[in-house]
């Protein structure tokens, strides 16, 4: 009886304002919940995207921040949808949006990253686009707060249980996914999940003797001729090629003309094979160029991201590959 009277009292006093504010909160809640879920099932990409902002550099802090953001998005998203603790959830969500807008503004101004990471790798957005979207979301939260600030007096226990249940399930799914091989912090393990012998199925053109990639020990460098880091790595790649510690094969997705210009402009002394965009993306996976693979009979044993391994690193990895039964 008291519950019915409370609902009727709210309806009489505020009317449409209640439903308008709740609708705005629910929409924002769904966005936050979806963002948290999509990040949680692909932690590797989300952690990388946080690192790309270059605001936090410590790997431990980046991983901690990733988990905190996922938990907060699950918590606030569900609270907004079910209307739990509105006086806390709405201002807290608005504060979260301000943090996001600040980080996105930094990324936009510095050019640190081209992908905001708002929904992991599932929906790429530029920082500028994400800023506009977050401003609209913030405006919805402000409107909801202005229209109706009172707490909902009914079903409080049910709302609390809903928040706890969604948070528990969401975090549990994220944890389970993060422990799976495809979410390993070791890119070599992740690539084994995609295809243990991926290099055997790749078609290479313009590279004499490319069949030797899958024979014995080989070092494969994945580059893009337009990549600044790849261009800067040419002297080191030249050195590795001349040392003849291990056969070096360099692959790229670019045209024959682009390869010729690259070799002439940056004085590359090694041959460069060309592969399809599809194969390039499979090999690049979630990494950065130049990406170097140490292979043993066509299987990946070690991957270096965005840099060429030193002679010591290469020798150590080769020794480990020789001593490991594949």
- On whether both 27 and 171 belong to a single domain, the answer is yes
- On whether both 297 and 195 belong to a single domain, the answer is yes
- On whether both 37 and 170 belong to a single domain, the answer is yes
pLDDT at 295: 92
- On whether both 170 and 300 belong to a single domain, the answer is no
Distance of CA 269 to the CA centre of its chain: 35
Residue 325 has pLDDT above 80, yes or no: no
pLDDT at 56: 84
Q: How many CB atoms lie within 10 A of CB 30?
A: 14
Residue 69 has pLDDT above 50, yes or no: yes
- On whether both 107 and 11 belong to a single domain, the answer is yes
Residue 275 pLDDT grade (very low, low, confident, very high; cuts 50, 70, 90):
very high
Domain of 133, in residue numbers:
2-181
Residue 10 pLDDT grade (very low, low, confident, very high; cuts 50, 70, 90):
low
Q: Give me the residue label for tokens 């739990």.
A: 84
- Taking the C-alpha atoms of residue 88 and residue 84, their distance in angstroms, rounded to an integer, is 9
Higher pLDDT, 321 or 202: 202
**Can you give the pTM of this predicted structure?**
0.74
Q: Which of 181, 207, 241 is the last residue of a domain?
A: 181
- On whether both 107 and 173 belong to a single domain, the answer is yes
- On whether both 101 and 31 belong to a single domain, the answer is yes
- Taking the C-alpha atoms of residue 19 and residue 147, their distance in angstroms, rounded to an integer, is 9
Q: Which of 124, 154, 181 is the last residue of a domain?
A: 181
Residue 5 has pLDDT above 60, yes or no: no
User: What value does the mean pLDDT take over residues 286-309?
Assistant: 90
Which of 67-76, 116-125, 165-174 bottoms out in mean pLDDT, i.e. has the lowest? 116-125
Sign of CA dihedral 38, 42, 45, 47: positive
Q: How many CB atoms lie within 10 A of CB 194?
A: 12
C-alpha dihedral over 170, 174, 176, 181, to 10 degrees?
160
User: Cβ contacts of residue 204 below 8 Å, gap of 6+?
Assistant: 210, 213, 251, 273, 274, 275
pLDDT, the chain, mean: 87
- On whether both 112 and 199 belong to a single domain, the answer is no
| CATH number of the domain bearing residue 234 | 3.40.30.10
Residue 51 pLDDT grade (very low, low, confident, very high; cuts 50, 70, 90):
confident
- On whether both 202 and 176 belong to a single domain, the answer is no
- Taking the C-alpha atoms of residue 275 and residue 207, their distance in angstroms, rounded to an integer, is 10
Instruction: Name the percent of the chain lying above pLDDT 90.
Output: 52
Q: Give me the residue label for tokens 């936090």.
A: 56
Task: Report the run of H or E that residue 199 belongs to, with start and end.
Answer: none
- Taking the C-alpha atoms of residue 178 and residue 219, their distance in angstroms, rounded to an integer, is 29
Name the burial class of residue 69, with classes exposed (0-12), middle (13-18) and buried (19+) by CB atoms within 10 angstroms of its CB: buried
Residue 123 has pLDDT above 60, yes or no: yes
Name the burial class of residue 142, with classes exposed (0-12), middle (13-18) and buried (19+) by CB atoms within 10 angstroms of its CB: middle
Residue 191 pLDDT grade (very low, low, confident, very high; cuts 50, 70, 90):
confident
Burial 249-279 (b: 16+ CB within 10 A, else e): bbbbbbeeebbeebbeebebebbbbbbeeeb
- On whether both 166 and 206 belong to a single domain, the answer is no
Q: Which of 147, 181, 215 is the last residue of a domain?
A: 181
Query: Can you read off the two tokens belonging to residue 27?
Result: 């929409």
Using one digit for the tens of pLDDT, what is the confidence trace for 19-34?
A: 888 899 999 999 999 9
- On whether both 122 and 41 belong to a single domain, the answer is yes
pLDDT at 156: 87
- On whether both 153 and 225 belong to a single domain, the answer is no
Number of domains in the chain: 2
Q: Give me the residue label for tokens 């953001």.
A: 69
CA distances from 148 to 1, 6, 133, 141 (A): 24, 15, 23, 11
């Amino acid at each position: 009886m008291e519950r019915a009277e409370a609902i009727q009292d709210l309806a009489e006093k505020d009317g449409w304002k209640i439903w308008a504010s709740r609708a705005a909160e629910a929409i924002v809640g769904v966005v936050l919940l979806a963002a948290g879920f999509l990040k949680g099932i692909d932690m590797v990409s989300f952690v990388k995207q946080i690192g790309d902002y270059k605001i936090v550099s410590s790997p431990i802090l980046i991983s901690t921040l990733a988990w905190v953001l996922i938990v907060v998005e699950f918590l606030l998203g569900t609270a907004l949808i079910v209307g739990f603790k509105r006086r806390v959830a709405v201002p807290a969500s608005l504060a979260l949006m301000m943090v996001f807008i600040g980080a996105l503004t930094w990324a936009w101004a510095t050019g640190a990253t081209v992908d905001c990471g708002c929904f992991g790798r599932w929906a790429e957005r530029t920082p500028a686009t994400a800023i506009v979207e977050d401003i609209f979301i913030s405006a919805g939260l402000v409107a909801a707060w202005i229209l109706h600030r009172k707490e909902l007096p009914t079903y409080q226990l049910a709302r609390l249980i809903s928040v706890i249940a969604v948070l528990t399930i969401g975090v549990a799914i994220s944890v389970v996914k993060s422990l799976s091989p495809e979410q390993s912090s070791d890119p070599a393990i992740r690539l084994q999940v995609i295809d243990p012998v991926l290099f055997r199925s790749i078609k290479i053109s313009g590279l004499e003797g490319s069949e030797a990639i899958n024979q014995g020990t080989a070092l494969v460098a994945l580059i893009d001729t337009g990549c600044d880091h790849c261009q800067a790595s040419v002297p080191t790649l030249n050195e590795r090629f001349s040392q003849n510690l291990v056969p070096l094969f360099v692959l790229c997705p670019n045209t024959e003309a682009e390869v010729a210009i690259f070799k002439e402009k940056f004085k590359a002394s090694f041959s460069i094979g060309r592969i399809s965009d599809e194969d390039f993306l499979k090999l690049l996976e979630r990494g950065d160029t130049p990406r170097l693979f140490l292979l043993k009979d066509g299987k990946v044993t070690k991957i270096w991201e965005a840099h060429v391994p030193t002679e010591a690193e290469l020798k150590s990895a080769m020794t480990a590959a020789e001593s490991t039964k594949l």
